[in-house]
Structure 1
């Protein structure tokens, strides 16, 4: 959903390194306002040409959009990415912090943050590989596994609209189904709005199907409108997308591009489809998938972008001093009987996984600095 893109060179990227070609093997975006633009592709191109266009974007460190929740891209490599001590790869998006957050000012961890989930594949092809999610900071607490979203091809490119900067309020219909943290089956129906800034179809024009279905873990909403509803020109909508915490990890396009730590990923975080940790010796493929399903008014859908993928072990001297991110402990229960008396609250969520900044009536899920999680019911 970004309308501004900032790419900063990292010193480590300039270090001497062995070149490894990154090949794009699959590009399957969900609908989104930059689909067909980043990169510039359309239905007249073959699949091979579309993949080549993605590789050209990477070669220039330019963004590839994955569209809304579920859209993904799969990478292959000249040689497998080894699982060694510390982070094994770096993936850059185009995230950045707001210059002046209306609530937190320059101290913000918010701006344009659009988290994507990373999966590691082991096998001879993406189609037959075993896939493992790299469990990020929200995996054991607020992420919702096994979400499925189906998007419908729009019936027109313009239609009825009353929302600010909209040319079609109910442009692309979607249905989402997921299992909440209590094991209850949930579903909802919503619409992607088409805004006046991008006139092309947001539905991939090369897709033959009239419905596109994506499945994967769903991350909690992370964007808040800090302005008005858009009806008052003096108080426009002001959407700010926040990191889940200053030390949140494991997500693409979720930390500023000059962050040397939280744009890196460790194969040690791999879990199987049942959430059980798995020790991988290497990864043959890497997949990045948009993890958030949230529509944010006139600035559009949450959509992960990918600008660069890098095997860190090929950087000269990296393995002598690797980036090490200590993962949060896996909670043994949502209601622990003992806890560090000095612990502090670091995040609070609604029951359906939406992050909130203040306590709300009903069930709240609270995460503490010692990694524990507790349910709190407020009258």
Structure 2
């Protein structure tokens, strides 16, 4: 070990392989020593220029997809904040000394984010290994076997890319229909408690959407309302349909049940006969404004948060039970009751708000509690926006998110 500071600029220049730093607008910010050498470009031809102005698709090849594939990969990194490794790409490069002459090249790219202090993608690391010579390494002096292998691999790669594009388009259409169906089934702000705010944020990507739901209903007897959120395992149009059935069933059950536990018991029996409802989760809370009480019950769902006016955040986790339809023979579910004071706030949400890969869920719950405490004096609409801004990853989450905030 040494106390001498590391010259990271020199390290960057010495990195093996072609490495470029791109801005979120896909403009070259820097390149290592090997990048211009292998790409056949001068450094001054790269820095400050848009990536696809320097490396466009071969106009003589109408089937060229290198630029589109690379753009899609870089956009995924910007949207998710996660690394994206690409399949082997044929991406022809124009000979800078002979304009109009294009050289067949094969590349193996990996794109990774560099996050700024705000947690958003500040730069993109674009690392490329050129494998053109490897593709031509076999077959003797004339390279005939290599050319056959090259043609076969290129054909298979094109077929796979075309299949992926058809799947992407099909998933996009399914996503559009599912989101429209969900939007039609979820209640609007005009039908809710006048001091409530609701949010739904679909996941990034064509899948992993439309399993989350929320509901608010007026209850019989006194000044009472029922609030619930739930999450269906699955995604797409099928999840949206199951979501709508469960939401409607719990809405009806809540109006006649003695409490949230009984409402979830009824919902669990109903989930048993719905294909796709296995392991769905839900939490229900009955708010009595006359008695200043909240009675709640959870079926495998993250706990609601009760934010008191003094900033104390109470995690409502004293009535937790397995998900819906988890038991072959249903038994009574638990429920608990807590009290609230003036200007308290009840928050229900789905796991997309607090769960992150490679992170304990308690970290997400603590992050939510901290955000709620700091913004507790905001009105429900402002509070909802602040929580989503602080907790959802840059570019959106990989799971959809529902959020309900009720000022008590």
Scaled to the shorter chain, the TM-score interval is under 0.3
TM value normalised by structure 1: 0.25
> Which of the pair has more CA radius of gyration?
2
Structure with higher helix content: 2
Whose relative contact order is higher, 1 or 2, with alpha carbons under 8 Å and at least 6 apart?
1
Q: TM-score scaled by structure 2?
A: 0.24
